Chains A and B, each alone.
Chain A
């Protein structure tokens, strides 16, 4: 009894969810599926963007330390700065933050769809 009682609304919910899923899928096919290429290239980008910014921070800190004899201090300042720059690079590359240097991430998506 209770089982059939529950199944009614559940079935309806299932149907409506199915419909919603299909609708969102329809939107996806045209705009998102083809941009796998772009997603893959973004993945390749992200891997280096972060590490390199930290290395540059270390490099700058190390160079200043060497020339001014301020032993660990410049490194201590520039290592976290490099880390922040790395995080910012990643946010920018993944389009989470529209910094001044990356307003094109989304436009690029459109481009690849066309080709």
Chain B
């Protein structure tokens, strides 16, 4: 099966600039390259497009404004206007994940978010922000988050245990969702594309038959673009909701 491409190979990490400091591997890898490219591209675009500051926005400026309004609306609806303090954080998260996912859609490009270490780092950043802000603002009162109102005292310990488990599950599900969707989508895409190659090696019948996986690959590619956007959207929306919990534990 030499013609069969390895569907996992696309996620391989290559060291571009090997760097080793005291046994800690700090190499600049292709993963780092894509992250740097994402940050540079996003920052450059927003600096360039908002540079004119026109009352009547140009096309590029209105794209920036639409993205701003989209994320700001999401945050304001979830966490209220006091949540807007976290807008830079939430907006950076959204743009970073969105652009990195879109970079992953290019052939031969690495999908950085298909590595769980990246998504864990992003989710932990959100989780720690929620913890620090929650305890910083409310002190012990933040623990009210685990005590839902209107529960009989008898089953209260049980409910608190359940709430704590679901709180701990948050950063894990937050990161696994993004990682698993990107990984599974790209592997499926690669496997179906691989079918075309191995089928068309079987002669005329194979070439005719490979139309099916080809159609599938085209459809999957469109779906992957949708997933790439939706994952960024879901990640950001949940971040907004978690920030809301940090600001208003125990409901309003």
Q: Which of B161, B163, B180, B241 contacts A48 (CB 8 A)?
A: B180
Q: Does A99 lie within 8 Å of B148, measured CB to CB?
A: yes
Say if the beta carbon of B145 comes within 8 Å of chain A: yes
Main secondary structure on B side of the interface with A? helix
Q: Does A85 lie within 8 Å of B234, measured CB to CB?
A: no
How many residues on the B side are at the interface (Cβ–Cβ under 8 A)?
Answer: 40
Beta-carbon contacts under 8 Å, A53-93 to B:
53, 55-57, 60, 78, 81-82, 84-86, 88-89
Given the complex, which residues of B lie within 8 Å of A88, measured CB to CB? 162-163, 166
Q: Does B162 lie within 8 Å of A52, measured CB to CB?
A: no
Give the interface size bracket for A toward B: 20 to 34
Known: A52-B172, A104-B241; 19 extra A-B contacts, CB below 8 A, are A41-B234, A47-B177, A48-B173, A52-B169, A53-B165, A53-B173, A55-B172, A56-B165, A85-B163, A85-B166, A85-B169, A88-B163, A100-B250, A100-B251, A101-B241, A103-B252, A108-B77, A111-B73, A115-B69
**26 contacts across the A-B interface (CB closer than 8 A):** A37-B233, A41-B237, A48-B180, A53-B166, A53-B169, A53-B173, A56-B165, A60-B165, A60-B168, A81-B162, A85-B162, A85-B165, A88-B162, A88-B163, A88-B166, A89-B173, A100-B144, A100-B148, A101-B245, A103-B251, A104-B240, A104-B241, A107-B77, A107-B78, A110-B77, A115-B69
